[in-house]
Amino acid sequence: MVSSSARDVDEYLAAVPAARRDALTRLRELCRAELSGFDEVMNYGMPAYQRDGAAEIAFAGQKRYISFYLLRTDVRDVFAERLAGHDMGKSCLRFRKVDSIDFDLVRDLLKATAATRGPVC
pLDDT of residue 2: 62
pTM: 0.93
Note the CATH number of domain 9-115.
3.90.1150.200
pLDDT of residue 1: 46
CB 72 within 8 A of CB 91: no
Element (H, E) at 30: helix 18-34
Domain ranges of the chain: 9-115
Intervals of the chain under pLDDT 70: 1-2
Cα–Cα distance for residue pair 10/62, rounded to 1 Å = 17
